[in-house]
Structure 1
């Protein structure tokens, strides 16, 4: 193979590798939206503004998820949101939201909280909360 052929082959391999990495990152960042669209949109609406199709039938209006940072001095309250979604006191939580434990089962990853402590956390929860952070106005 000539030097030009090697250079072209190397460039093609590099481009394919970068495309694969970009595709993987896109799928990873999109997984939070998939979870949201599957389990949250009915109450919170497609844009997260608390206007889902059953919102007016609920005893407590769903939160406008686009204002979480705004109501927390401009900082997204990651830990509080994670706790609201996943930190329930028992299997049959009687709070405002349904229990999502089984939905968020899956691989655990290390997540470091604002206090510096590392906690094993479901990857799906991190993906969902990252998506919610992306909705902030």
Structure 2
């Protein structure tokens, strides 16, 4: 049993080491991605007022209010799931496009709030860091 546990921990460690390079992306890296992928709908200031917003049936969300909408806590896992498409449904009608390119490339370890480091695409983490950095507070 002890060998099994050691093996599991060793494999988990190898998975995290495989997340190269180890340098975590910063909010400034995510801003460039935001401008490329998100600003057309959500606007340059993430207020939901991008040039495409006027043509949409459902207005894009104000992304600076995510934390306020979740009890002053930034829901990292939920935001990631929304961006990568796991928290969206075709049944909800047309909404956010899928951003497959953000799911490709290097992986970095990320704690989404559950205390576990999960290999996550670097670009996705960069965008997450940017969104977390622009949150309004009370």
TM-score by length of 1: 0.72
Answer whether contact 2:27 2:126 (CA < 8 A) is retained: yes
Deviations 1:92-111 (A, max 9, x none): x6352101122341101111
1:61 aligned residue? 59
1:132 aligned residue? 131
1:28 deviates by 4.1
Aligned length: 111
Q: Counterparts in 2 of 1:42-81, with a 5 A limit? A: 42-81=40-79
Q: Which has the higher contact order (CA 8 A, sep 6+)?
A: 2
* Larger Rg, first or second structure (1 or 2): 1
Deviations 1:18-48 (A, max 9, x none): xxxxxx99x8432100000111000000000
SS in 2 for 1:62: coil
1:60 deviates by 1.6
1:40 aligned residue? 38
SS in 1 for 2:95: coil
SS in 2 for 1:110: strand
1:97 aligned residue? 96
2:115 aligned residue? 116
Answer whether contact 2:102 2:124 (CA < 8 A) is retained: no
- CA–CA distance in 1 between the matches of 2:68 and 2:82? 17
Answer whether contact 1:109 1:121 (CA < 8 A) is retained: yes
- CA–CA distance in 1 between the matches of 2:27 and 2:43? 20
Judging changes above 3 Å, is the alpha-carbon distance between structure 1 residues 119 and 87 closer, same or farther for their aligned structure 2 residues? farther
Q: Counterparts in 2 of 1:2-41, with a 5 A limit? A: 28-41=26-39
Answer whether contact 2:35 2:44 (CA < 8 A) is retained: yes
